[in-house]
């Protein structure tokens, strides 16, 4: 598995696979075509179908330059290798200089055609949760200590920065009003949720209100193109920070404890990214929100210093109860159902930790098994439910604007 640096990426929303990934691809391509006076970019599959809503065209033009970039949306050509496929063709004085195909495989990661290995080297030798647990038990260490062993102590500086960016996104989100761009007329709600007390506020309703406010805050920042951290993607970026932001003051956890928790959650996200998928275009929303929920649950379980069985059970349940969740963003925007979905998943993550605390001894399904199941389920989902905005809510709801 790769470093957590490539799971927790800092960048602008609204989509890691549709904005961050294509921007990375554009930068890579330009290294081969510095002299080009025109670059044609052809977007296929999900990138064509939700590219405008996800701002793919604007992101790519931002890297290549408005004047010399032509974007073509190809809705017809099948995408056999990966649903997020894009071609770059460079020209000079009308002559073709070179062309390359890339796949945006989720979380801002890109593969060039023919490239088997991901761009960044593996730093984790073990690729299943079972193996990692066995290793940690032998050495009597926690997950965050395993992360430090594989990544070096420098990882803490990076995760400190990750936590800073997450916290800033929460702070901006809970203090901003307005309507999100894109024509759907989606009102920003984090500020209202944060300030408005429930009519019958008690500890339980307050917990839910605050977690939701934080998740809405980060997701709304993402939808408006703000700076966020992929956890594991842009669309699902609100779940982990909401959970951590809620828990930190409640139990006075230190920043060091929070970044150790992010490391434990990162192992979970990395395993899913390596052995299955974190891409909505590949496996539906279960791969994005389900993974985010599992990461948040594992992180919260680490904060409470639960044992490895309990951490595994919390993460496993979080995936299990998102199985089959479709990706059907209205208008191809990362707003409905995405923003609310982050809030619900953040609450679910804490519920999963509570159950795991009591019931870990009785569990029957391993984390590795549920990841395999999620991947197979995702592959079986009809294409219309995988970030094409052609099925589900995206089909039923008629845009009024």
Contact positions toward ligand SF4, by CB under 6 A?
Answer: 235-236, 280, 285, 288-289, 327, 329, 334, 337-338, 341, 387
Give 233's contacts (C-beta < 8 A, 6+ positions apart). Answer: 15, 16, 17, 106, 107, 278, 279, 280, 288, 291, 292
Query: Quick one: which of 132, 109, 164, 118 has its CA closest to 315?
Result: 132
List the end-to-end C-alpha distance of the chain, in Å, as a whole number.
44
Of 112 and 393, which has the nearer Cβ to ligand SF4? 393
Tell me which residue has tokens 């349940």. 317
Of 1 and 223, which has the nearer Cβ to ligand SF4? 223
Distance, in Å, from the CA atom of 65 to the CA atom of 78, rounded to the nearest integer, reads 28
Tell how strand 109-112 and strand 95-106 pair up. Answer: antiparallel
- Is-contact 243 290, C-beta < 8 A? no
Of 238 and 265, which has the nearer Cβ to ligand SF4? 238
Of 109 and 387, which has the nearer Cβ to ligand SF4? 387
Helix/strand/coil for 363: coil
Distance, in Å, from the CA atom of 42 to the CA atom of 33, rounded to the nearest integer, reads 16
The 10 Å Cβ neighbour count of residue 28 is: 16
Show the 3-state SS of 260-317.
Answer: HHHHHHHHHHHHHHHHCCCCHHHHCHHHCHHHHHHHHHHHHHHHCCCCHHHHHHHHHH
What are the two backbone dihedrals, phi and then psi, of residue 127, each rounded to the nearest 5 degrees?
Answer: -120, 15
The least CB distance from residue 14 to ligand SF4, in Å, is 9
Of 14 and 265, which has the nearer Cβ to ligand SF4? 14
Tokens representing residue 298 in the block: 């594992």
What are the two backbone dihedrals, phi and then psi, of residue 277, each rounded to the nearest 5 degrees?
Answer: -160, 150
Maximum alpha-carbon separation in the chain:
70
Of 265 and 378, which has the nearer Cβ to ligand SF4? 378
The least CB distance from residue 284 to ligand SF4, in Å, is 7
Size of the chain in residues: 401
The least CB distance from residue 188 to ligand SF4, in Å, is 17
Helix/strand/coil for 12: strand
The least CB distance from residue 160 to ligand SF4, in Å, is 27
Distance, in Å, from the CA atom of 303 to the CA atom of 349, rounded to the nearest integer, reads 13
The least CB distance from residue 308 to ligand SF4, in Å, is 29
- Is-contact 393 330, C-beta < 8 A? yes
Of 269 and 329, which has the nearer Cβ to ligand SF4? 329
Distance, in Å, from the CA atom of 330 to the CA atom of 397, rounded to the nearest integer, reads 7
């Amino acid at each position: 598995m790769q470093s957590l640096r490539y799971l927790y990426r800092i960048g602008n929303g609204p989509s890691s696979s549709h904005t961050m990934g294509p921007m990375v691809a554009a930068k890579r391509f330009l290294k081969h075509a510095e002299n080009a006076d025109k670059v044609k970019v052809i977007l296929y599959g999900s990138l064509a179908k939700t590219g405008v809503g996800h701002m793919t065209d604007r992101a790519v033009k931002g890297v290549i330059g408005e004047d010399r970039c032509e974007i073509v949306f190809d809705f017809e050509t099948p995408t056999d290798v990966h649903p997020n496929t894009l071609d770059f063709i460079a020209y000079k004085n009308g002559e073709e200089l070179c062309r390359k195909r890339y796949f945006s495989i989720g979380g801002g990661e890109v593969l060039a055609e023919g490239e088997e290995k991901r761009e960044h080297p593996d730093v984790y030798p073990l690729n299943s949760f079972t193996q990692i647990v066995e290793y940690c038990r032998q050495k009597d260490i926690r997950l965050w200590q395993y992360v430090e062993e594989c990544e070096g102590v420098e990882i803490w500086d990076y995760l400190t920065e990750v936590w800073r960016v997450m916290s800033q996104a929460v702070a901006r989100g809970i203090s901003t009003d307005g309507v999100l761009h894109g024509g759907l007329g989606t009102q920003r709600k984090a500020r209202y949720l944060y300030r408005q007390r429930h009519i019958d506020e008690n500890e339980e309703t307050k917990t839910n209100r605050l977690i939701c406010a934080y998740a809405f805050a980060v997701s709304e920042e993402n939808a408006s193109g703000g700076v966020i951290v992929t956890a594991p993607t842009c669309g699902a970026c609100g779940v982990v920070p909401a959970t951590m932001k809620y828990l930190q003051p409640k139990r006075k956890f230190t920043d060091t404890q929070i970044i150790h928790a992010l490391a434990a959650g990162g192992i979970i996200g990395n395993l899913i990214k390596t052995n299955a998928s974190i891409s909505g275009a590949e496996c539906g929303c279960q791969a994005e929100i389900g993974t985010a929920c599992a990461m948040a649950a594992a992180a919260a379980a680490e904060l409470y210093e639960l044992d490895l069985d309990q951490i595994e059970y919390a993460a496993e349940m979080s995936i299990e109860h998102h199985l089959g969740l479709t990706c059907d963003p209205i208008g191809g925007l990362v707003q409905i159902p995405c923003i609310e979905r982050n809030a619900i998943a953040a609450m679910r993550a804490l519920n999963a930790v509570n159950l795991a605390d009591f019931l870990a001894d009785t569990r029957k399904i391993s984390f590795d098994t549920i990841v395999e199941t999620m991947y197979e389920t995702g592959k079986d989902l009809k294409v219309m439910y995988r970030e094409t905005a052609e099925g589900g809510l995206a089909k039923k709801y008629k845009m009024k604007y």
